[in-house]
A and B are shown apart, each in its own frame.
Chain A
């Protein structure tokens, strides 16, 4: 711990005002507060003591509450897969493996794209990286259909996240297309040639508006 602390303290000056990497300060601060709870103390007026909770712990509590749902979802994807191909005797391990291969990339893409956008906006807008995305990053995979193309996850996450900073972007998209959405982004033809929509896409669209 001391080693980590010393390394962080050593590079801190180059991120502070007047340093070379001044504009990346909030990215450094995000890493610093991730590894170490900050050493700030309460002001001389107002409460002198505070509750031990903070937003990171609150978000972790929500994520831990969602983990059983995710685990069941992973197993269920594998279970439905083996039901669909008519292999009833698949083991638990097989089902989880199939589910994980399908679902975990969605989680990774969702967190990766979302946190990337969070960091970019934190650096551009000069404010701390907010912990809100920790929960959104878990919610998005939970509402997506498991066979969704990963690029759609990335686009949906980017819109949901960036729209918090730029309502204009989402309004523009609505304006350009006049509310009339066509093409295979929003629907696809399944094996019986019926049109089906990606319900999640609509959901994310609604979220971003």
Chain B
């Protein structure tokens, strides 16, 4: 029987431009890209393809120099047209010109009863070779899971509470069978339970509610209730030495299709959202798609920021960019590079603020959808205000002290303050509400790398 957990702290940002509940299929983008920079914990990516090579969906593109058994594969079939490198020959992306009809590498198929008797080594081997293994993220540190580990649990968040996040009921509709097979496979990898954490008030899709062999828990509250780190903290906190794996429902479905049909199916539904989009809706496409075709003739104005992911944890990719491996949405926001006359005191109900400060009245209408641009609204300063990070972090960690201990590079203090339990997305809201405009997520990642490599 799953748990029901009600969270009091947090702040849900309501932005204009949520996706309409319809899935549209348009002409597919010509190029797709896999970016090694999307994967945290990737030591040095070594490409195994050259420009001009032909690949199929599921063919290896690169692997990690340190963990050679984790293979990163192509989402589509076609020809490799670019292997882009940056400074010091750092591998930035591998671009593939896709075929009209996708061909797949054939992996071994299993029936449901065969999966139940499959040895763990075979399961891991299939996942590693297919390119689905990078979907498994380990806590602590938020890096790609190590195949040598056995986690104490696997957690799946069945909803997303980030601003403008897509509705998982639409993203994964009709995939019940594959989700169940995926959960059965994941159960073999852990010594504990597979947890599926759903939202208490929304209508839960049968994909998640009817699943067997897993614990279904319910959560209610404001963002970041949808963040899997917060859910793990309240169900079964991570102590020093514990390892927990997390995976997105899409990853689970891909595992199900891999074992049932023997193919790596990188197809996904992506939501195009934001106040600057004329028709925000869902599109059928594949992992690593170019955003050009989706935003063509679909923008209200040209001076916009195109973000792969949500506005709190996403990355700016530009109008010619590509959707990240882990992202289910493309957010388009207006750029905020304008001067505002005495903007630091002018009152306004249109500006979004968590604080009830002089002139900011957005707290009076919290459910109203607002347009927010990318202006920093101030300059970086030293820490001045205390207690505000704690109001938006529904976890038993002290975020301000943790960030300060990372800046001081005090590893013992970081461990005592709970650095093992958090990754960037758990602290994204702290970065949003910060008066002193710190780069909290960047500081946290530095701290995590410091502890991981110590």
- Chains A and B are bound partners: yes
On A, residues with C-beta under 8 Å from B are 1, 4-5, 33-58, 60-61, 64, 128, 130-132
**Chain B residues near A131 (CB-CB < 8 A):** 381
Within 8 A of A (CB), among B338-382: 338-345, 348, 351-355, 357-360, 362, 372-379, 381-382
**Does A49 lie within 8 Å of B432, measured CB to CB?**
yes
Chain B 407-443, CB-CB to A under 8 Å as 1, else 0, gives: 0000000000000000000001001111111011110
Q: Which residue of A lies closest to B362 (CB)?
A: A52
Known: A37-B344, A37-B378, A40-B375. A48 touches B358 (CB 8 A): no
Does B202 sit within 8 A of A, measured CB to CB?
Answer: no
Pairs of residues from A and B, 9 with the lowest C-beta to C-beta distance, nearest first: A54-B378, A37-B343, A52-B351, A44-B316, A56-B344, A36-B339, A61-B358, A37-B340, A41-B374
**A36: contacting residue among B343, B431, B436, CB under 8 A:** B343
**Does A46 lie within 8 Å of B374, measured CB to CB?**
no
Question: Shortest Cβ distance from A66 into chain B, in angstroms?
Answer: 12
**B377: contacting residue among A5, A36, A46, A51, CB under 8 A:** A51
A-B CB contact pairs (8 Å), 6 listed: A46-B441, A47-B312, A51-B354, A51-B433, A52-B351, A57-B360
**Does A57 lie within 8 Å of B344, measured CB to CB?**
yes
Known: A33-B344, A36-B339, A55-B436. 13 other contacts (CB 8 A): A36-B343, A37-B339, A38-B379, A44-B316, A47-B311, A49-B372, A51-B353, A51-B432, A52-B352, A52-B360, A54-B378, A55-B435, A58-B355
**Does A46 lie within 8 Å of B376, measured CB to CB?**
no
Known: A37-B378, A40-B379, A41-B337. A55 touches B384 (CB 8 A): yes
Q: Which residue of B lies closest to A135 (CB)?
A: B384
Does B453 sit within 8 A of A, measured CB to CB?
Answer: no
Q: Which residue of B lies closest to A1 (CB)?
A: B341
Q: At the interface, is chain A mostly helix, strand, loop or mixed? A: loop
Does B336 sit within 8 A of A, measured CB to CB?
Answer: yes
**Chain A residues near B377 (CB-CB < 8 A):** 37, 50-54
Q: At the interface, is chain B mostly helix, strand, loop or mixed? A: loop
**Chain B residues near A5 (CB-CB < 8 A):** 339
Question: Shortest Cβ distance from A12 into chain B, in angstroms?
Answer: 12
- With the chains together, A49 CA to B441 CA distance in Å? 13
**B375: contacting residue among A4, A35, A41, CB under 8 A:** A41
- With the chains together, A57 CA to B356 CA distance in Å? 11
**B315: contacting residue among A38, A45, A50, CB under 8 A:** A45
**Does A54 lie within 8 Å of B437, measured CB to CB?**
yes
**Chain B residues near A38 (CB-CB < 8 A):** 339, 376, 378-379
Question: Shortest Cβ distance from B354 into chain A, in angstroms?
Answer: 6
**Chain B residues near A50 (CB-CB < 8 A):** 375-378, 431-432, 434, 437
- With the chains together, A48 CA to B314 CA distance in Å? 7
Does B56 sit within 8 A of A, measured CB to CB?
Answer: no
**Does B379 lie within 8 Å of A54, measured CB to CB?**
yes
Q: Which residue of A lies closest to B380 (CB)?
A: A128
**Does B353 lie within 8 Å of A52, measured CB to CB?**
yes
Question: Shortest Cβ distance from B379 into chain A, in angstroms?
Answer: 6
Known: A38-B339, A47-B428. A57 touches B379 (CB 8 A): no
